[in-house]
Amino acid sequence: MEGIPILNPTLSVRALGVRMWQGEWLAVLITPWFMNLVLLPAAGVEARCSLRPGTKEQVAFPAGRFEFIHAYEEELGAYLTCSLFSPVLEFADQESAEETARQVLAELFKGETDGDEDGDMVRLWEGRLPDPDATPDEGAAPAAARPPPLTRRALFGLQDEEARQ
């Protein structure tokens, strides 16, 4: 992988937060080119080998359902992976990547929240998008007090602030 432009040379390979989850080993795998959640079947547990590599599957956690992709390696067998960062160029060092991995795992095992931003993100990941025709809650801020919706173009800096308002 040396010399590949997506490689972050400040990172090394490390599995963090290894624990059992529903009969499989869960960890965050950090490499110089990606950070993924991985699920590996425990010894003696039948692997998810009935689905071919590349097939997508929703896996439930306390924070919600997340999309994993089936993969297969000769030495490991069948496993699942969920991309968190790819590439990992935004990490200045191994320590910041590992702290991010710890935070991901902490959030993954938090219960659903009641209407805050994190809960909204969990609902988006689950595919439960807000109904644009729904009437606002009584306690919700009036439309004029709420900031305009953030578009993907604005998020990536492709639209200036004046155009959003």
Residue 102 placed within a domain = yes
Strands 24-30 and 64-73: unpaired
Residue 1 placed within a domain = no
Residue 116 placed within a domain = no
Cα–Cα distance for residue pair 123/114, rounded to 1 Å: 11
Residue 61 placed within a domain = yes
**Which tokens sit at 35?**
């950070």
CATH number reported for the structural domain that contains residue 40 in this entry: 3.30.1460.40
Confidence tier at 22 by pLDDT (50, 70, 90):
confident
Residue 140 placed within a domain = no
Residue 7 placed within a domain = no
pLDDT at 92: 94
Number of structural domains in the chain: 1
- pTM score > 0.75 for this model? no
Mean pLDDT computed over every residue of the chain: 76
Over range 140-145, report the average pLDDT.
Answer: 48
Task: Please say whether the beta carbons of 97 and 11 come within 8 A.
Answer: yes
Residue 62 placed within a domain = yes
Residue 30 placed within a domain = yes
CA angle, corner 150, sides to 149 and 154, nearest 5? 140
Query: What percent of the chain lies above the pLDDT cut of 70?
Result: 60
Whole domain around residue 79: which residue ranges? Answer: 14-108
Confidence tier at 164 by pLDDT (50, 70, 90):
very low
Q: Using CA of residue 18, residue 123, residue 96, residue 154, what is the dihedral sign?
A: positive
